[in-house]
Amino acid sequence: MRRLLGGIAKKDAAAALAAIQEAVSQNMDARVLAKLLIHRMRIVLLLRYAPELAQEFAKEGSAEDAVLAKEVAKERGVNS
């Protein structure tokens, strides 16, 4: 999921698609992958537009997830 989000944020389609392919090859359900992506993107967008919520979202994932979400929220590629 981290590689997928990173690829999307950097507009690196090859990296994002490789992350999806890896998840599928490891038998990850596509619906689960989509739900996880939506959940993570929601956090990223909320952090971008409501950074005061960062502490609240830090409880939902690992420290690495929080760092990635903050980095991705700063990337212009996510919603531009």
Cα-Cα-Cα-Cα dihedral sign, residues 62, 65, 69, 70: positive
Cα-Cα-Cα-Cα dihedral sign, residues 47, 50, 53, 55: positive
Q: Counting beta carbons within 10 angstroms of the beta carbon of residue 5, is it exposed (0 to 12), middle (13 to 18) or buried (19 or more)?
A: buried
Q: What is the model's pLDDT at position 67?
A: 73
CA–CA distance, 69 with 25 (Å, rounded to integer): 25
Q: Where are the domains of the chain?
A: 2-74
pLDDT digits (tens, 9 = 90+) for 3-27: 998 888 888 999 999 999 999 999 9
pLDDT digits (tens, 9 = 90+) for 30-59: 999 999 999 888 888 888 888 777 777 667
79 φ/ψ angles, rounded to the nearest 5 degrees: -135, 15
